[in-house]
Structure 1
Amino acid sequence: MIIQSAFRKSLQSQFIAKWNECPDQFPESKRQFNYLEKRIWEIKFNHFLRLIKKEFRTEKPDKTKILDRSKSFFEENLAYSKDQMQLIFSEDMLDATKDFIRKAWTFDSELSFEDIFQALRNLWIMLGLQSFFGKEIKTTPSLMAYSLLYPYTDNLIDSANINKNEKLDFCSRFALRLAGEQVAAESQIESRIFDLVSMIESEFERQTYPEVYESLLAIHHAQTTSLKLVNPKSKLSDEESFQIAIEKGATSVIADGYLVLGNLDEKQYHFLYEYGAYLQILDDLQDARDDYNEGIMTHFSKNLPHTKLDQLLCKTYYLGKSFYQDIKNWYPNELSFQGLIQRSFGFLILASVFQNQDDFSDQFIQTAERHAPFRFSFIQSKQTELAPFRQHLIKMAEAYKNKELVF
């Protein structure tokens, strides 16, 4: 059995040390794309977009055809390997996703499309972990419950209509429920949250799997601690803000791992710690401006009034490179997962620059753009063109919810 708090504290110190050692200069060796290469990528993307738009313009879009077009674009134009394609588009992954959507709306028909999508982001990480660890890919009761917990708790904690004391009172009651006590819910949303805990208990008996519940209490504690960031006048140091963020991210994905496997060994725990911590850093980097506007003072957002994010993004890049090397050392045979992680992290870092250009220097933006396969002006021109696709997806999801459509 892992003594989670002590082991996690040791990993936290190692992770912070890695961050502090990361260079803050732009990586000169990173591949660049010349103008001709960018135009070729853009032509391929325009072709894909025309095919998809044509399908969406029909009265009843063929979802199989849309999926096949997407697969072809990823494989033929973006050069994803067959193994990587299998991880993204496997039938098991798609079936588990559809099963989750159906069960989620059965559990609560008032969940919004945004809530469902937020829950899916966590579900896909857990399904990916099932595949990575050689488990059957499916939406288990625990995966469904844990994926839904955080739209509910996030909505409650982020609500402007609930004061801080009420939020802290909820956090105390939720901690008691996670610890196994029977607690009376004080609202409908709280009742649903407690029902989700019962769903996890139906799969993992507390006496047999105590570490599962220890991990759930750890992420809950990390989320409660993160309330300290919701203060524009926060006196937290950069290191304290960074520590709160990585603890929240790490404990979240560690809980994912326990709900997938039931128990973890030290290598699995270490891998999940770094995976979750780094995902949180990427998330905070992308959301820095939104967080600042909402008064959430993360390591990235709190620095916006004083400096650009150039150096912090470079450190984020090198930290991801270090984590990628750790994956290669821990799991040398998982080549498809390694490649997918590398691609995903690279895309998210470039997206952070494109989406938040006011927060980077002009020179940095120009340098970053040379390493992107598309011109930023091209991506910007497609924003309006891509907007209707979201509406189509929402309509398809709503039709599925109302049983008007069979996927």
Structure 2
Amino acid sequence: MLPVQDYISHFIKMWEASSDELPHFQKAYTKEEKLKHQENFDAFQGKLKDLQNVRNVQRLKKDPAKSFFPVFKNFLQNVFDFEAGHLEIILSEDFKGVSKDFFYKARAFGPELKPENIYQGMRNVWIMNGLQLMVQVPIKITPSVFAYSMIYPYSDNFLDDPEIEHSEKLQFSERFNKRLNGHKLPAINFTEEQLFRLIAMFEDEFPRESFPNVYESLYAIQQGQTNSLKMNRQNGISDAEICSICFEKGGASVLADGYLVAGKLTREQEQALFGYGVYLQLLDDIQDVKEDSLAFTHTMFSCLPEAELGKFVNKTIHFGRAALKEMECFDTPNMNDFLGLMNRSIETMIIESVGLNHSWFDKAYLKEIEQFSPLHFSYVRKKRKQSKSQRFTMFQKYFNTNVQEVEIS
């Protein structure tokens, strides 16, 4: 058995020891710098429209500088100030083809899925691609990378659907857990049929007898998801239980990512990946505070009073920096660049989430944290109104029906 409870206890202690004071950031942005970044953002959106216009395809092929990746590099550099070492990782040749490969595989596997469902899985692909880099295996869509990333659009959406009865969700979790443990069950609905096909992909790549911890990690994430159902019920769940469930669900998810990439991990690597997953879960809770509150979902963040929300954000950043420090146990070339990229990306999303959920924070904290955003919070909110998710919009534009016609490299 994987020592999941030990990892939960370890990171709860790290959380409790984390400061709730405003963290130190490398750069604060002036009003003029923010306006310049916003101009660059608007220019990037204009260039994306060119990439989406079929009539421009031949012209774009003749001018590689205007194809997607050079434009995207400019965006990351001139809007969000990613460093050269970060860009080398994001835009390496290894990473360029995997997103498109996943998209077409996902569309073939689940033609009923909407683009936003596939994007949901794509976010996990990017995490697993990063882990492939860390454990120094080829960066590609393996059967297990594909299968685990596709589980999210099916299982998570089923468990999160407010229209489905709690008892039905428990039955689903029980049957899914049995299948993860190797029991051959007949599928009773379409969701189960798809999920059981995905589990078979794990079994083909990682035989159960040779890779037992792969399946222990899958059981751990399923157990975490099942326990998280308690957070959707008004049953007097304690703050300590909420914290434990939050850490279990997030940590187990990335631990499973690691096992499905590497097959085998050391105890130190297990713990580091678990902490990375906890950090990503805290990010999700900050991003989803409005939705969680309206749905009466208990998270560590959604139940806090306004005066405490800023302290929670500060604490999350301090915790994340300490948790990512443990990732140094992976002996990877350019590990500092990789960890810097991870930290920069997550902290950017945390600060953006504060700006998007501004009505939940007191004005003093908003003014304090906005200094470290490359964009004005009002601009971020305006862009979000134009599109529910700017990242998803980029995904749609990149993978529109004409993508095969566009030269992107």
* TM, length-normalised to structure 2: 0.89
Whose relative contact order is higher, 1 or 2, with alpha carbons under 8 Å and at least 6 apart? Answer: 2
CA separation of 1:40 and 1:145: change in aligned 2, threshold 3 A: same
Q: Distance in 2 between matches of 1:386 and 1:227?
A: 30
1:399 alignment partner in structure 2:
401
Say whether residues 1:12 and 2:8 are aligned partners: yes
Q: Check conservation: 2:50, 2:56, Cα contact below 8 A.
A: no
CA separation of 1:242 and 1:268: change in aligned 2, threshold 3 A: same
Equivalent residue pairs, number: 400
Q: Check conservation: 1:23, 1:315, Cα contact below 8 A.
A: yes
Say whether residues 1:21 and 2:21 are aligned partners: no
Question: Superposed, which structure 2 residues align to 1:31-46 within 5 Å?
Answer: 31-46=27-42
Q: Secondary structure at the match of 1:399?
A: coil
2:189 alignment partner in structure 1:
187
Q: Distance in 2 between matches of 1:238 and 1:295?
A: 15
Match of 1:159 among 154, 158, 161: 161
Deviation at 1:141, TM superposition (A): 0.7
Q: Secondary structure at the match of 2:297?
A: coil
1:320 alignment partner in structure 2:
320
2:179 alignment partner in structure 1:
177
Q: Secondary structure at the match of 2:401?
A: helix
Question: Superposed, which structure 2 residues align to 1:105-144 within 5 Å?
Answer: 105-144=107-146
Q: Distance in 2 between matches of 1:311 and 1:108?
A: 42
Q: Distance in 1 between matches of 2:92 and 2:335?
A: 17
Deviation at 1:94, TM superposition (A): 2.3
Deviation at 1:295, TM superposition (A): 2.0
Say whether residues 1:336 and 2:337 are aligned partners: yes
CA separation of 1:200 and 1:31: change in aligned 2, threshold 3 A: same
Q: Check conservation: 1:145, 1:196, Cα contact below 8 A.
A: yes
1:348 alignment partner in structure 2:
349
Q: Check conservation: 1:308, 1:361, Cα contact below 8 A.
A: no
Q: Distance in 2 between matches of 1:59 and 1:384?
A: 29
1:199 alignment partner in structure 2:
201
Q: Distance in 2 between matches of 1:388 and 1:334?
A: 30
1:370 alignment partner in structure 2:
371
Q: Check conservation: 1:396, 1:405, Cα contact below 8 A.
A: no
Deviation at 1:386, TM superposition (A): 5.9
1:298 alignment partner in structure 2:
299
Could you give the per-residue CA deviations for residues 129-171 of structure 1, whole angstroms, max 9, x where no partner exists?
1011110011111111111112101122122332111111111
Q: Check conservation: 2:269, 2:329, Cα contact below 8 A.
A: no
Deviates more, 1:20-29 or 1:96-105: 20-29
Q: Distance in 1 between matches of 2:380 and 2:216?
A: 44
CA separation of 1:42 and 1:158: change in aligned 2, threshold 3 A: closer
AA of the residue aligned to 1:153: S
AA of the residue aligned to 1:128: G
Gap runs ≥5 in structure 2: none
1:256 alignment partner in structure 2:
257
Q: Check conservation: 1:249, 1:279, Cα contact below 8 A.
A: yes
CA separation of 1:331 and 1:54: change in aligned 2, threshold 3 A: same
CA separation of 1:202 and 1:236: change in aligned 2, threshold 3 A: same
Deviates more, 1:372-381 or 1:295-304: 372-381
* TM, length-normalised to structure 1: 0.90
Question: Superposed, which structure 2 residues align to 1:215-234 within 5 Å?
Answer: 215-231=217-233, 233-234=234-235
Q: Secondary structure at the match of 1:33?
A: coil
Q: Check conservation: 2:180, 2:218, Cα contact below 8 A.
A: yes
Q: Distance in 1 between matches of 2:160 and 2:6?
A: 31
Q: Distance in 1 between matches of 2:32 and 2:184?
A: 64
Q: Check conservation: 2:135, 2:330, Cα contact below 8 A.
A: no
Deviates more, 1:141-150 or 1:44-53: 44-53
AA of the residue aligned to 1:298: T
Q: Check conservation: 1:399, 1:405, Cα contact below 8 A.
A: no
Q: Distance in 2 between matches of 1:388 and 1:127?
A: 22
Deviation at 1:392, TM superposition (A): 7.7
1:86 alignment partner in structure 2:
88
